[in-house]
Structure 1
Amino acid sequence: MFGCLVAGRPLQTNLQQIDDTHAIFELPAAGSINHICVFLLGTVPFPDGYGATVHFFWPGKGFQLLGMLSNEKPSAIFRLRGTYSAQSTTAHAVFTGAAPDTSSTSVTAVLGLSVEPLPQIAQEVAALPSAVARTTNSPAADATLMAERIVKNLFNFVTSFLGGAGAMGPEVMIPLGMVAKWYENFLTKVRNTGVGFLENQE
């Protein structure tokens, strides 16, 4: 019913059923995860009036409610790095028994899904911290911010070869090869490290 995709990794459909209304995905090497996409596979819809809350468990830190899925909202992208805020709900208690061993050097986190009535989900999601709520409930704003960071990265790259932003003017010609070089470098960096580097640029 559910799929899970971590940027730069294969699609996960290896859902582990906890009980009739709870299931998890294990996320190995969780320290390298920046964003995660969770979605309905389209094979089995939710029963009428139901959806699922999405929870993230980091060993030793507890659970965080990320957001929700429903038949009307069959997919969502969540930013994990920099938004962690431990919480405790009834749904979390079910997932705790499935939490992985933390003795290994590579931390395995858990993404939990809890099927619940939509009115209950609406109350839980309304209580999300504002930063998480913005990421979860406003994909357009999130996409705009990402686009702005990508364009800024290109601008910084080009101006580094032209003597800084002060040298830029309406008549400055930028060789197409320079843009192609930025594009190749940008894709290599995204494949190797994700998009987190865009948040650190000045």
Structure 2
Amino acid sequence: MFGCCVAGRLLQTNLQQIDETKAAFELPAAETINHISVFLLGTVPFPDGYGATVHFFWPGKGFQLLGMLSNEKPSAIFRLRGNFVSQSSYSQAAFSNPAQPTTSADVTAVLGISIEPLPQILEQVNALPSAVPKPVPSPSDGAILAEKIVKHLFNYISGFVSGSSGTSLSPDSMVPMSLIARWYESFLSKVRAGGIGFLERQE
């Protein structure tokens, strides 16, 4: 039902069933893991009203909730390096007992998956630090954001359109609507992939 893939490694489908609602993947050489992708294989959907929480276990530090999967969200990518915080939770004893202590050079971590009712899952996921709502921007923040978006559009178009001098964008330059449509699709793709941080990096 589930698969996982550590960036730079082969796909793992060697899921170990713990009980009717819990399963786990062993992740050898965990100290080298940066990102991990978890997904439904598409063979068996969740029952109506159910999904799964995804947990990461580091020996000696317990389980940490990473996020969730559902029929509407059948895959997710999680960044592990730099984000793991030692914490104890009710899920620590839910999966198999950790292996015997290992050296830091050869750590086997565990990716735990727990099938649960969606309301219970959403309650846990909404409590994650990353789920804390951001402050509502003030009107001045909106004006600054609008200015950055327009600047991004101008910089994009100026890379394709030449003015009458043939060297740069001018008030007389003709801009094809298809170019603006391409910018719009590219802009939305960047926002969906990583938010609006890229606007801060533009010159």
Check 1:52–1:80 CA distance in 2 against 1; reply closer, same or farther (3 A cut).
Answer: same
Larger Rg: 2
- Give the deviation of 1:37 after TM superposition: 0.3
Check 1:132–1:93 CA distance in 2 against 1; reply closer, same or farther (3 A cut).
Answer: farther
* Counterpart-to-counterpart distance in 1, 2:190 and 2:51: 22
Query: Which letter does structure 2 place at the counterpart of 1:102?
Result: P
Could you say which residue in structure 1 is the equivalent of 2:77?
A: 77
Could you say which residue in structure 2 is the equivalent of 1:144?
A: 194
Q: Which 4+ runs in 1 deviate beyond 4 A? A: 131-134, 139-142
Q: Which moved more, 1:67-76 or 1:80-89?
A: 80-89
Q: Is the 8 A contact 1:83 1:131 kept in 2?
A: no
Cα distance per residue 1:105-162 (max 9 Å; x no partner): 400100000000000000000110128999xxxx9657336x95xxx8xxxxxxxxxx
* TM-score, normalised via structure 2 length: 0.64
Q: Unmatched 5+ residue regions in structure 2?
A: 135-188
Check 1:140–1:91 CA distance in 2 against 1; reply closer, same or farther (3 A cut).
Answer: farther
Query: Which letter does structure 2 place at the counterpart of 1:19?
Result: D
Cα distance per residue 1:21-80 (max 9 Å; x no partner): 000000001011110000000000001100000000011111110000000000000000
Higher helix share: 1
Check 1:110–1:100 CA distance in 2 against 1; reply closer, same or farther (3 A cut).
Answer: same
Q: Whose RCO is larger (CA < 8 A, sep 6+)?
A: 1
Q: Is the 8 A contact 2:18 2:96 kept in 1?
A: no
Could you say which residue in structure 1 is the equivalent of 2:100?
A: 101
* Counterpart-to-counterpart distance in 2, 1:116 and 1:24: 15
Could you say which residue in structure 2 is the equivalent of 1:16?
A: 16
Q: Is the 8 A contact 1:125 1:133 kept in 2?
A: no
* Counterpart-to-counterpart distance in 2, 1:107 and 1:143: 31
Q: Is the 8 A contact 1:24 1:110 kept in 2?
A: yes
Task: Give the % identical residues.
Answer: 69
Check 1:102–1:3 CA distance in 2 against 1; reply closer, same or farther (3 A cut).
Answer: same
Q: Secondary structure at the match of 1:46?
A: coil
Q: Is the 8 A contact 2:54 2:67 kept in 1?
A: yes
Q: Is the 8 A contact 2:46 2:70 kept in 1?
A: yes
Could you say which residue in structure 2 is the equivalent of 1:128?
A: 128
Q: Is the 8 A contact 1:102 1:108 kept in 2?
A: no
Q: Unmatched 5+ residue regions in structure 1?
A: 153-164, 166-202
RMSD: 2.8
Could you say which residue in structure 2 is the equivalent of 1:114?
A: 114
Q: Is the 8 A contact 1:62 1:86 kept in 2?
A: yes
Query: Which letter does structure 1 place at the counterpart of 2:194?
Result: T
1:1-202 aligned within 5 A: 1-97=1-97, 99-104=98-103, 105-130=105-130, 143-144=193-194
